[in-house]
Structure 1
Amino acid sequence: MTLERMQWAQVGRLMLPFVLSFAALAWLTFPTLEGIVSRWLKFDESYSHGLLMLAVSLFLVVRTCLNHPVRPGFYPIWLLPFFLALIGYGLGDILRIQAARELVVVPLLLGVLAVFMGWRQVRHFIIPIGLLFFTVPVWDFLSWTLQVITVEINQLLLGMMNIEFRVEGVFVYLIGVGAFEIAHGCSGLRYLLVGQSLALLYGELNLTRLRSRVVLFAVGVALALMANWIRVFVIIYMGYETNMQTSLIEDHDNFGWWVFAGTLVPLFFVGRWLETSALEQTNATAEVAAHTQPTPYHGIKRLTTGVVAMVALPLAFWALLPSTERNVRAEPAPMDLRLDGEQYGTLFSNRLEGWRPRVRNPDRAYVQTLFDRTKVSEGAGASETLYSAVYSYDYQRHSAELIQYSNRLYNREEWHTEDLYEVDVSGPATFRGVTIRNRATGKTIDIAYTYYVEGFWETDDLRAKLAQVRGFANKRTDASWILYGVSCDECDRQARLADLIDNTFDSVVQAVNQQYRP
């Protein structure tokens, strides 16, 4: 056997414990990993840098292995945090909270390394593997906070420009000009994630002191947020100056990346200044000396015990978890519900002026467009169109969840929001009302919606997601999205929306409860 073949055989023996353990872990977490990668492949969203960061992470792992040769052993003390991470994944699976499962993916990867490497070796891999945390789609819950901060900053800046405006929630109304919505995509989340990743990567490649890395990371976060604030302010200001005719309104994504690229210049200047500091150079010399310390050797029998444990634990969780069968319906089943009768008649359409919500993989669905018979004058057609819909999930699982990024109230390329309000209705549920305008036709419609999750009523996305945890104590597993809409030319749409809900809501709730109540 040649020396080259001996070296490859040795590499294979070193990698075998990790390969077997990662294979068992991938078997358990495959649906979650599939969901994460699917978000990476949506190149117009906040996680489109995921594939690039995966390649960078693999490069850093190989680089670290060359700088710090791995000597695998078995460190059983690290089985405890690995087991706790598996429990976290299992709870997320039982409660059907995808974000909880995604949160522990990176700790599980590091847990495998820690069991076979111990702290002395695994600490060098924390950043190369931890870099992937900025690609896991759990950061969306920051969006609302970032939106509010962006609105406050721009309110301050616009106040300095002697511009007449009004702010309501995430809407900025330029009096006599138009309105801007600081929507999810305007929160700056994508710039924050990329800025954090670049700062962490620069620190890993060029800095050795923890303090230097923390400083650079904080600067990266501040500049990424600042880039979004500048982008939104310039777009709003140019909209004001051009009476909403500026091309930046339609091309705001490309403009944002140019602004973000400009903020990287001071980031790398700060990084270079930290890199050439005297303390950083002294610390680098000490690190080289520390690398020469030998790593203890563990026998083959002990290593085999570790491999058996690390393969058995994920497979045991896979066998015990109740939702390993993740079937998704090809088409939703019809719901036993009709609202037409003495007061309402049926219109043959499943859209309202071209609008319909985007809902992914519901188990059951009801959609009906209506007209109010009392509002139809003799010899004339209906002056308004009413809409009612229910989308339900028997239980929530991967690719079939009520609160997921693919479920959208409307297509933002075709519609934009003009107003948000709370609908004044009686009953246990609260409804959030939204006025939207078609970008092409200028047609305006009003929509109201609420979430009914395992017996709890919510209108906020985060609270609807947390309702799954509250509902764990009861026997219900269902989740429904209930929507209403009104389109008319000369009526009070908000009042008509409230009337429609008051007249039909009991029938809708009865149909849902009849389907799901134990």
Structure 2
Amino acid sequence: MLKKISVHSLFIASLLILFVVNAPVLLTIFDEWNSDGPYSHGFLGIIVVVYVFYLQRHHLQANTLSKSHYAFALVCLISSLSVSLVALLSSIQQLQQLAFFSILVSLLFCFYGWQALRSFFTPLLMLLLILPVWNMLQFPLRELSTQAGVWGPELLGIAVDRDHYRLSTAGGMFDVDPACSGLGFFMVAALLTFCVSYFNKLSTKRTLTFLLISLAVAIIANWLRVMIIIIVGTYTEMNHFIVHDHLAFGWIVFAICLIPLIYIARTYFEERSEDETAETAETAETVKPVASDDFSLNKTQICVTLIVFASFVAASYWIPSRYDKNYTFVEPSLESYQIVSRDKAYSPSWKPYSQGATKERFSYYIEKSLGFQVYLADYYKQEQAKEMIFVENYLFDEDFWMEVADKKLSLSEAAVLDQANLFVLKKSAHRYRLIASWYVINGIMTSDKKIAKLAEVKAALLGRPGATLVAVSFDFDGDDQASAEQQLSKFITAYLNPNKS
């Protein structure tokens, strides 16, 4: 019966399983595409990608891979699946999205060979370009845009004062947020380049040339947006509509800048000559295809691929399922500090937020005239957007507290932890607060987010994924911060080493 199943059917079935297993990952991608962020072109982009895949469908032919090629393909698949499992257990969203793409490419490699990857290189690259995994480009693009926001208005005689990413003029104040980096323009320009390259059958050299031109136009378009907003905002005292609706205005500027880019594409990057096409065809690797329904020629390879894939799919469900619903962090008993209240579900003076926490508790300790409040957020398991280390979690309300410093608090006397994360906050001239925090995962204590993520993976593999965020709050009048930090360090040392307190 197995011989009657075509390679195409098994490949499509594997893709369906991949999509089902990674449904939460796909939802995070769709959310980015549905937002006003730099990937809002995603739904339009996926239509183009699917269309190009459809045009290339005749290249999807079953081939018998050599042992060396298949071994490499299998290593790629196992590596991709391993990264996906680690990303799942550590709830790293962008790594999950990259792993999903890598698994898709590896499956194509294992089923159809290297020639298929070469034939589908352009649509695969276009697919990668619309995935929300390019945020690392925001930092250099944001820096360039901020600098353009300084020297552009200064060319017109407008003095601009820069404080990190905040620009101030006589007429207003402008924050160059990550969303103002122009990443969306940058990615659309790259996607447009490969669309032109595919439909005009450009050579690699001409494609790279047009890519550089397109990216330059995208960067300049965003510079123009930033400069115009600052100039107009300054002269109108922040009352013009483009200052408040700068995203829509940005796309208008980019659309206008596309006009010369389209002209350049039509004039200088038309379809390549027959000589170029013939040269490419001669250098292409020739692989003898086999009938798409002939499963016997690569039966062993396909079976091994399916077994490896199924094993990791099963592991992705089984490993996270091992957790203790009754997990809770047990607070130590301190002899040197008197406990006033313990395990309170609410604190009127402190409102931290931990999304997805199983249980949140507050305890209050005193020593003479000093008071320390402890916040515990327990997680018996963690998953995407319901995790201990998450961008939307916070330890203080920015509407009531101003952050003065974000640093480390030394805990030299603590045997199990060298330092804790420390926020220095200010509410008024004589109202300051210190908040120190660290993470506890399966007995491992750390203040480092990367180490905490690795500890999450290890704990999940061991079947003990319970984790807790521990934070300690201490208020002082702001006169002697060094002394306040010393008192907080002393309390945390006693909290971590109750037998020595």
Structure-1-length-normalised TM-score: 0.70
Gaps of 5+ in 1: 1-11, 375-385, 437-444, 459-463
Could you tell me which of 307, 320, 337 is aligned with 1:312? 307
Which of 27, 34, 52 lines up with 1:60 in the alignment?
A: 52
Query: For each residue in 1:141-195, what CA deviation from the matched residue of structure 2 results, as whole angstroms up to 9, or x when unmatched?
Result: 3333332332233233344344344322222233x65432222222222222222
Cα displacement string for residues 290-309 of structure 1 (whole angstroms, at most 9, x for unaligned residues): 89967332642134333322
**Matches of residues 75-86 of structure 1 in structure 2 within 5 Å?**
75=65, 76-77=70-71, 78-86=73-81
Cα distance in structure 1, aligned partners of 2:497 and 2:381: 14
Letter in 2 for 1:314: F
The 3 A distance-change label for structure 1 pair 251 and 38 is: closer
In structure 1, distance between residues paired with 2:420 and 2:233: 38
For 2:117, the equivalent position in structure 1 comes to 122
Work out the percentage of aligned pairs sharing the same amino acid.
20
* Whole-Å separation in 2 of the counterparts to 1:232 and 1:483: 42
Partner residue in 1 for 2:133: 138
Contact between 1:46 and 1:190, CA under 8 Å: does it hold in 2? yes
SS of the residue corresponding to residue 429 of structure 1 reads strand
Mapped contact 1:28–1:314 kept (Cα < 8 A): no
Secondary structure of the structure 2 residue equivalent to 1:47? coil
Q: Please name the residue that 1:227 is paired with.
A: 221
Q: Name whichever of 394-403 and 73-82 sits farther off.
A: 394-403
Mapped partners of 2:295, 2:23: distance in 1: 30
Query: What is the DSSP-based 3-state SS (H/G/I as helix, E as strand, rest coil) of the residue aligned with 2:142?
Result: helix
Q: Is the 8 A contact 1:24 1:314 kept in 2?
A: no
Q: 1:144 to 1:291 in 2, by over 3 A?
A: closer
**Whole-Å Cα distance in 2 between the matches of residues 264 and 248 of structure 1?**
20
Task: Report the Cα distance in structure 1 between the residues aligned to 2:167 and 2:400, rounded to whole angstroms.
Answer: 13
Matches of 2:480 and 2:123 in 1, distance apart? 56
**One-letter amino acid matched to 1:199:** T
Residues 138, 431 of structure 1: alpha-carbon distance in 2 compared, 3 angstrom cutoff: farther
Alpha-carbon contact 2:52-2:123 (below 8 Å) kept: yes
The 2-side partners of 1:512 and 1:146 are apart by 43
Question: Which residue identity is paired with 2:60?
Answer: V
Q: Which amino acid counterpart does residue 143 of structure 2 have in structure 1? A: V
Q: Does the CA-based 8 Å contact 2:189-2:218 persist in structure 1?
A: yes
List per-residue Cα deviations over 1:477-511 (Å, max 9, x = no partner). 7464859799xxxx99x779999877667767987
- RMSD, matched Cα: 5.0
Match of 1:401 among 384, 387, 395: 387
Change (3 A) 1:343 1:513: closer
**In the alignment, what sits opposite 2:414?**
none
Instruction: Identify which of 173, 180, 184 aligns with 1:179.
Output: 173
Q: Which amino acid aligns with 1:120?
A: Q
Q: Which position in structure 2 is the counterpart of 1:37?
A: 30
Partner of 2:416: none
Separation in structure 1 between the aligned mates of residue 324 and residue 138 of structure 2, nearest angstrom: 30
**Aligned equivalents of 1:226 and 1:485: distance in 2?**
49
Task: Tell me the residue number matched to 1:457.
Answer: 447
Distance 1:86 1:170 in 2: 39
Deviation of 1:109 (Å): 1.1
Summarize deviations over 1:11-42 as a string: whole Å, max 9, x none. x946302112223434554443343334334x
Contact 1:147 1:182 in 2 (8 A): yes
Answer yes or no: is the 8 Å Cα contact 2:323–2:381 preserved in 1.
Answer: no
In the TM superposition, what is the alpha-carbon distance from 1:447 to its structure 2 partner?
Answer: 10
Count of residue pairs brought into register by the alignment: 465
**Counterpart among 231, 234, 245 of residue 251 in structure 1:** 245
Alpha-carbon separation, structure 2, partners of 1:498 and 1:134: 49
Indicate the residue corresponding to 1:149 in structure 2.
144
1: distance between equivalents of 2:168 and 2:76? 51
CA distance in 2, matches of 1:206, 1:365: 59
1:266 aligns with 2:252: no
Maintained 8 Å contact 1:390/1:482: yes
C-alpha change, 1:216 and 1:89, in structure 2 (3 Å) is same
CA distance in 1, matches of 2:376, 2:189: 40
Alignment of 1:263-412 (within 5 A): 263-276=257-270, 282-286=275-279, 295-297=288-290, 299-321=294-316, 324-325=319-320, 359-366=354-361, 391=377, 393=379, 396-404=382-390, 406-407=392-393
**Contact 1:35–1:398 under 8 Å retained in 2:** no
